[in-house]
Structure 1
Amino acid sequence: VLVLVAAFGPIAFLGGLAGELYRQFSVTISIAVVLSGVVALTLTPALCAVLLKPNTENHHRFFLWFNRRFLWLTQRYTAGVAFFLKRAALGMILFAGMVVLAGLLWKAVPGGLVPDEDQGYYIGAAILPEGASLDRTDAMVRQMEAAVSANKNIDTTFALVGLDFIGGGGGLKSSAATLFFPLKPWEERNQSAQQIVGESYMKTGGIKEGLPLFFSPPAIQGLGQTGGFEFYLQNKGEGGVRKLAELLPKLIEEANKQPELAGVQTLFQANSPQLYVDVDNERARAMGVALPDIYNTLAATMGSYYVNDFNKNGRIYQVLLQAEGQFRARPDNLGDMHVRSASGQMVPIRAFTTVKFVTGPDSVARFNALPAIKLLGDAKPGYSSGQAIAAMERVAKTVLPANITYDWGGASFQEKRSSNAAGLALGAGVVMIFLILAAQYEKWSLPFSVLLAMPFGVFGALLAVYLRQFNNDVYFQIGLVTLLGLSAKNAILIVEFAVMKVNEGYAPVAAALEAARLRFRPILMTSLAFILGVVPLAFSSGAGAAARQSLGTGVLGGMLAATFLAIFLVPLFFKLINDRRFRTTEEDFHHPVHVPLGSATPEAPGHA
């Protein structure tokens, strides 16, 4: 109990989004383990007295057969332990090779923040040339809906024409639309949301009126508008956003050539048609018209001018001032507006203004207080978000000049920020477990016979996610912390009994072998119960399945390795730490001696 709590306790204090996810698991598991320990120490003995029956000779055939098979398995296991106790050098070489392989797997498994979840819907966007009318946008949306809705896994579609939801910079825009595609329940469809997104791209590839885009929603609500990554191009020098616009085509072209990246695109357009009102300040002053009055009049009639709020039926509404549509339909309508002069007369705006068409961005976004342009993209199938981030940074360093920088937003920012969280969590867990064991055994060296069992769990977890092509994400890392405690638990069962046998007078080798034999059954039974309980988690489906599969796969692989590999070498670790000799003789197995725990030489050879 203390070991599991020690493994999860420190990670409850990690910061950032990853720390928040760690904290939820840490607090939940720690409380559950403490309550389980209290029940085991108080209620379980009473239940044993009530439920257990006296042992009789009349056993069921199945149990007789099972006990014979298990006795044979125990003998084979004990022989395997004795094999490594006699060949300590071979055992340590295999252990070192496993550690090296685990390190290679750590580098080979791609990183990520959280897995891309199938949330039962996905998002689309229609992007037309700047200045396109709502009618053109609506026509393209209908083409997209007709092409995509042929997929029987899609339940319905609905669109918001004129809303730039994904771009985030323009808000209401006549040349953009946002579409939502709710899917049928998981049990009624044969494709995941990610597969349907890819199919939607193929079905809408023939649309020439504009750019159709499709995205999965973010795995965690609030981390951006869509899944994938958000890359911000920033200008720290001169030229503003126009300088960034000049670099965009080259950057996007090179990014889409990378094998890790897919659909790198921007919704920014630098040549949006605009009306520019040039005010002749001197002439306006000569007519007695104040400049603020001119700008306020334009804002209130052509734009939407906020007045105040009012309450009605328990809800708050805003009052916005704006001219009717027919009075702001043409550029000539600007000349029909009047402004009151200082003398009280109404002066037409056309008397001191000139209206002309220009091009430019409809809005200029800022990120980190710098002019910025947002790029959207995703990782290609078979690659992780961490690999996509690394590829995008590699392209940016090649293409961008010195005064142009970049940064990340949404889930990508959190992934970069939490990249060191796994090392901190695992390191803190190992340190706390070591301190707990050192206090229990009252020695600094003996806990290492338990700690050396932990790499087996890490190796098994990494191998499992590598074979299933999963990522090293936050949920997998939470599973690794769990494995620290579970791997230590199995090793503690052997080491604790070995310590008892040494105190009874056994030599370290004989004590380790006897402890392995005695604790093999409880270790195997409890571990198999846990492994079978994790199997549904590793192969789950439906809502939130990706997170459960990531967590369950790592824990399943780690427990298999900790159960069927580590138990052969834990007795060897105990033996080496206590007598520090690689050579083992037959006398060490058959002649228990009085050896103070941790002593290198026996004090009374041959004395039982």
Structure 2
Amino acid sequence: MVDDAIVVVENTFRHLEEGASPIDAAINSAREIAGPVISMTITLAAVYAPIGFMGGLTGKLFTEFAFTLAGSVIISGFIALTLTPMMTSKMLNKQVLEGALVKKIDKVIAGVTHKYEKLLAIVLNNRLLVWPLVATFLVSLVFMFTHTASELAPQEDQGVVIMMGQGPSQANTDYIGHFTKPLEDTIRSYPETEMSLMVNGYQKDSKFFGLGVLKDWESRDASAKEMMTRFQKDTVDFPGLQVFTISPPDLPGTSQGLPFQMVIKTPTGSYEELYQYAEKLKEYAVTSGKFIYVQNDLEFNKPQVEIAVNRDKAALMNVNAQEVGNVLTRYVSEGFINYFALNERSYQVITQVERADRSSWNDINNYYVRSNNGKMVPLSSLIDITQSVQPSAVDQFQQLNSATIEAKMMPGVSIGEAYEVMQKGAEQILPSSYAIDSSGQLRQYVQEGASLVSTFALALIIIYLVLAAQFESFRDPLIVLTSVPLSIFGAMVPLYLGIDTLNIYTEVGLVTLIGLISKHGILIVEFANQIQPEFNGDKIAAVKKAAAERLRPVLMTTAAMVIGVVPLLTAAGAGAQSRFSIGLVITVGMTVGTLFTLFVVPTVYTFLADNHAKALEEK
């Protein structure tokens, strides 16, 4: 918000140093700097426009953020060209220039400027070497983008650890409850745990769902991520259960369940065939070493008994086939008979044989059915029994037969890295008639990543068009935008080194960098264009002077921005990790980008800039 005002105040201060009166200094400063300030304001506001109009999860998260910043930037630009010059004419004077602190600061800045001019002269004398250097940075940038860990969002400390798991496929809630009780006691034994909760029979009888609610951040030293690792370590070999721990979804609208959900779908394959390929892909995931836990939601683990009435035998025994079905319904299927009233409440009457008489399918042979003449006939003499194993559930994805590989990644493995590994596995294992898709958090990661790439490209196009209109040139905007990839290179270095990941917050920070770093290029290019006629079109001399005179505002705006985001880097508590992600990208990107801008932009200017002295003569 203060960048525009900093530029105006600094330029006014420079005019005062040259001997102008406060009023003349303010007027001349505003007249000189109006063009760059307008360009910087429109550029930064234009960067946020694509974010504000995005749909999906990114739109939900950042629409208010984008429009608030865009509006604030426009207002700050207006104030910088109206209120700020008036205030500088009243508050800046000769006495300010003679202050001891001001003189010390001026001496330091003068020394920095002198050294910068020497270095810039060396760079411009060897300016052809800049191109291979820039090309090296661009190649490195592409490499880092493709080899940096990526995910939908950084893992936040929400004070909750989720536990999920299952017992044997045929286990019931009694079995699960027997083993989750000691599991819950284990979770509660940690001093960081505030409370715990277990839900037996979650989704199906053999599964469970649990929560470990941690104490407030101030009351514990361990983060939720550390506690999740501890829980996993202590429950990995828990008797009777397969247990894994995950964190709650970090963003609104993301589905529950395991973070990695890759869907295998086929328009022609049967579920039996689909199961075989899904199991092969599951085995590939296990052997890849990228996952702690992998499961295939298509499981052929449900024993099924098919009972067919032999109508010839039933007719011979004088038994109605429908009566056979009625007997089975009453004995084993919890058949509803009627209602009865007790204490002014109505209850269903449901018939069923004792559990001991229905524990095995062989018990069916002990049942009897009444014939039409009143005799009791053994059911075993009337039916044919076939055993098979069927899937416990079958799913369709986009109206196609599907199976989902669900997994939890190893610590340090991002969802992007895991997805890349599984894509390679699918290419090797699945036939051409099969395809893969994504679900849950993985689907949002894929969709949001694609939308942010288009937003990034759109922001660059908008800035180019705005600058082309401002400079009345198609080449000058390219000079300004050369600072963008160099700034992004700097921002990508800590991400590539593993300090953070490429996620929805760091990507928004990268988009923001486009507008922030472009301001420096605008200051240098605009002033160099203005003074070119003084040097008879000598672009090297013009850009040398422009870069030297704009060094102070460039450093001041960078320092203001970097210091302003320090609270994001040191944040703690709820949402701290997302703020850190944005702060890290902007801090490193602005610092490195500024250093490159001060040397690369002047060099590129000498190659691409228009001859404004000649253009002025023609006018």
**TM-score, normalised to structure 2's length?**
0.79
1:39 maps to what in 2? 79
After the TM superposition, which residues 434-473 of structure 1 pair with which residues of structure 2 at under 5 Å, given as runs?
A: 434-473=464-503
> Greater helix percent: which structure?
2
Contact kept? 2:334, 2:352, Cα under 8 Å: no
1:560 maps to what in 2? 591
Please identify, of 122-131 and 485-494, the stretch whose mean Cα deviation from structure 2 is larger.
122-131
Is 1:4 the counterpart of 2:47? The answer is no
CA distance in 2 between counterparts of 1:407 and 1:567 reads 46
- Per the TM alignment, residue 484 of structure 1 is displaced from its structure 2 partner at its CA by 0.8
CA distance in 2 between counterparts of 1:262 and 1:360 reads 27
After the TM superposition, which residues 45-64 of structure 1 pair with which residues of structure 2 at under 5 Å, given as runs?
A: 45-49=85-89, 52-56=91-95, 59-64=98-103
CA distance in 1 between counterparts of 2:328 and 2:615 reads 88
Contact kept? 1:130, 1:269, Cα under 8 Å: no
1:119 maps to what in 2? 158
2:567 maps to what in 1? 536
Is 1:476 the counterpart of 2:506? The answer is yes
After the TM superposition, which residues 285-296 of structure 1 pair with which residues of structure 2 at under 5 Å, given as runs?
A: none
CA distance in 2 between counterparts of 1:57 and 1:209 reads 78
CA deviation map 1:385-438 (0-9, x unaligned): 111001112223333345554321012122223443343222211111111111
Is 1:367 the counterpart of 2:385? The answer is no
Distance 1:248 1:91, change over 3 A: closer
Distance 1:247 1:571, change over 3 A: closer
Contact kept? 1:300, 1:322, Cα under 8 Å: no
After the TM superposition, which residues 123-272 of structure 1 pair with which residues of structure 2 at under 5 Å, given as runs?
A: 123-163=162-202, 171=203, 173-240=204-271, 242-266=272-296, 269-272=299-302
2:613 maps to what in 1? 595
CA distance in 2 between counterparts of 1:392 and 1:530 reads 41
- Per the TM alignment, residue 486 of structure 1 is displaced from its structure 2 partner at its CA by 0.9
Distance 1:270 1:219, change over 3 A: same
Is 1:81 the counterpart of 2:120? The answer is yes
Is 1:27 the counterpart of 2:67? The answer is yes
CA distance in 2 between counterparts of 1:45 and 1:275 reads 88
1:99 maps to what in 2? 138
1:407 maps to what in 2? 437
CA distance in 2 between counterparts of 1:47 and 1:335 reads 100
Please identify, of 208-217 and 483-492, the stretch whose mean Cα deviation from structure 2 is larger.
208-217
- Per the TM alignment, residue 462 of structure 1 is displaced from its structure 2 partner at its CA by 0.8
Contact kept? 1:126, 1:178, Cα under 8 Å: yes
- Aligned AA for 2:489? F
Contact kept? 1:276, 1:356, Cα under 8 Å: yes
Distance 1:221 1:446, change over 3 A: closer
Distance 1:28 1:147, change over 3 A: same
CA distance in 2 between counterparts of 1:514 and 1:191 reads 55
- Name which of 325, 334, 358 aligns with 1:302: 334
Contact kept? 1:304, 1:321, Cα under 8 Å: no
Contact kept? 1:130, 1:273, Cα under 8 Å: no
Contact kept? 1:264, 1:378, Cα under 8 Å: yes
CA distance in 1 between counterparts of 2:139 and 2:435 reads 38
CA distance in 1 between counterparts of 2:399 and 2:327 reads 26
- Aligned AA for 1:147? T
- Per the TM alignment, residue 245 of structure 1 is displaced from its structure 2 partner at its CA by 3.7
Distance 1:247 1:447, change over 3 A: closer
- Name which of 510, 518, 529 aligns with 1:499: 529
- Per the TM alignment, residue 150 of structure 1 is displaced from its structure 2 partner at its CA by 3.2
CA deviation map 1:479-532 (0-9, x unaligned): 111111111111111111112212445532222122112211111111101011
CA deviation map 1:178-236 (0-9, x unaligned): 11111122233333323322222221133231211221222224322135211223354
Contact kept? 1:144, 1:212, Cα under 8 Å: no
Contact kept? 1:251, 1:399, Cα under 8 Å: yes
CA deviation map 1:131-169 (0-9, x unaligned): 223222112112322333333222211101122xxxxxx
- Per the TM alignment, residue 74 of structure 1 is displaced from its structure 2 partner at its CA by 1.4
Distance 1:263 1:437, change over 3 A: same
Secondary structure of 1:377's counterpart equals strand
Secondary structure of 2:408's counterpart equals strand
Percent of aligned positions that are identical: 28
CA distance in 2 between counterparts of 1:295 and 1:30 reads 73
Contact kept? 1:578, 1:597, Cα under 8 Å: no
Contact kept? 1:378, 1:388, Cα under 8 Å: no
**TM-score, normalised to structure 1's length?**
0.80
- Per the TM alignment, residue 574 of structure 1 is displaced from its structure 2 partner at its CA by 2.1
CA distance in 1 between counterparts of 2:557 and 2:102 reads 18
Contact kept? 1:153, 1:183, Cα under 8 Å: yes
Contact kept? 1:122, 1:215, Cα under 8 Å: yes
Instruction: Indicate the RMSD between aligned Cα atoms, in angstroms.
Output: 3.9
Contact kept? 1:153, 1:184, Cα under 8 Å: yes
Is 1:108 the counterpart of 2:163? The answer is no
Distance 1:267 1:420, change over 3 A: closer
CA distance in 1 between counterparts of 2:99 and 2:423 reads 67
- Aligned AA for 1:190? D
Runs of 5+ unmatched residues, structure 2: 1-40, 340-344
- Aligned AA for 1:138? G
CA distance in 2 between counterparts of 1:416 and 1:58 reads 56
Distance 1:337 1:322, change over 3 A: farther
1:428 maps to what in 2? 458
Distance 1:66 1:33, change over 3 A: same
- Name which of 514, 518, 524 aligns with 2:555: 524
- Aligned AA for 1:502? Q
Distance 1:56 1:359, change over 3 A: same
Contact kept? 2:334, 2:351, Cα under 8 Å: no
- Aligned AA for 1:258? S
- Aligned AA for 2:608? I
Matched residues, number: 558
- Name which of 602, 609, 615 aligns with 1:578: 609
Distance 1:496 1:246, change over 3 A: closer
CA distance in 2 between counterparts of 1:112 and 1:248 reads 24
Secondary structure of 1:443's counterpart equals coil
CA deviation map 1:271-312 (0-9, x unaligned): 23456565678979x989989x9799789973899x9xxxxx
CA distance in 2 between counterparts of 1:180 and 1:132 reads 21
CA distance in 2 between counterparts of 1:415 and 1:384 reads 11
1:585 maps to what in 2? none
1:586 maps to what in 2? none
Contact kept? 1:540, 1:549, Cα under 8 Å: yes
CA distance in 2 between counterparts of 1:233 and 1:443 reads 51
CA distance in 2 between counterparts of 1:535 and 1:446 reads 33
- Aligned AA for 1:149? R
- Aligned AA for 2:146? K
CA distance in 1 between counterparts of 2:331 and 2:213 reads 39
CA deviation map 1:17-42 (0-9, x unaligned): 34554545433322222232233334
CA distance in 2 between counterparts of 1:180 and 1:58 reads 64
Secondary structure of 1:255's counterpart equals helix
Please identify, of 295-304 and 85-94, the stretch whose mean Cα deviation from structure 2 is larger.
295-304
